[in-house]
Amino acid sequence: MTESFGGILTALATPFDESGKVDDTLLRRLVDRSVDGGVDALVVGGGTGEFTTLSEEERLHLFDVVVEHTAGRVPVVAQTGAITTSAAIRLSRAAERTGADVLMLSLPYYEPLSPGEVRRYITEVAGSVELPIMLYNNPSTTGVNMDAGTLAAFGREIENVRYVKDSSKDWEQALRLIHHHSDDIGLIMGWDSYSFSALLEGATGVMVGAANVVPEEISAVARAIRAGDVATAREEWRRVYPVIDAMLAVPFVQAVKAGLRLRGEPVGAPREPLEELAPEDVASLEAALNALYR
Single-letter code of the amino acid located at 99: G
Residues contacting 221, CB < 8 A, separation 6+? 8, 195, 196, 199, 233, 236, 237, 240
Q: What is the pLDDT of residue 294?
A: 86
pTM above 0.85, yes or no: yes
Reply yes or no on whether the pLDDT at 4 is more than 90: no
Q: Long-range contacts made by residues 229-234, C-beta under 8 angstroms, separation at least 24?
A: 230/200, 233/196, 233/199, 233/200, 234/196
* Mean local confidence (pLDDT), 236-264: 98
Of 166, 168, 238, nearest in space to 203 by CA: 166
pLDDT digits (tens, 9 = 90+) for 5-25: 999 999 999 999 999 999 999
Q: What is the pLDDT of residue 175?
A: 98
Extents of the domains making up the chain: 2-230
Residues contacting 49, CB < 8 A, separation 6+? 11, 12, 13, 14, 43, 62, 79
Reply yes or no on whether the pLDDT at 3 is more than 70: no
Describe the chain by its helix, strand, coil percentages, rounded to 5: 55, 15, 35
Catalytic residue (choose from 136, 163, 194, 241):
136
Kind and range of the H or E element at 76? strand 76-79
- The angle at the Cα of 93, spanning 112 to 91, to the nearest 5 degrees, equals 45
* Mean local confidence (pLDDT), 94-121: 97
pLDDT digits (tens, 9 = 90+) for 155-208: 999 999 999 999 999 999 999 999 999 999 999 999 999 999 999 999 999 999
Helix (H, G, I), strand (E, B) or coil at 24: helix
H helices then E strands: how many in the chain? 12, 8
Mean pLDDT of the chain: 97
* Mean local confidence (pLDDT), 204-232: 98
171 alpha-carbon distance from chain centroid: 18
pLDDT digits (tens, 9 = 90+) for 135-160: 999 999 999 999 999 999 999 999 99
Reply yes or no on whether the pLDDT at 101 is more than 50: yes
CA distance 83 to 257: 26
CA distance 20 to 274: 12
State the pLDDT confidence band at 117, using cuts at 50, 70 and 90: very high
CATH topology of domain 2-230: TIM Barrel (3.20.20)
Reply yes or no on whether the pLDDT at 1 is more than 70: no
165 is catalytic: yes
Backbone φ and ψ for 135, nearest 5 degrees, come out as -70, 155
Catalytic residue (choose from 165, 194, 241, 257):
165
* Mean local confidence (pLDDT), 101-108: 98
Query: Which sign does the torsion angle of CA 140, 112, 254, 259 carry?
Result: positive
Instruction: Work out the percent of the chain whose per-residue pLDDT is above 70.
Output: 99
Reply yes or no on whether the pLDDT at 2 is more than 80: no
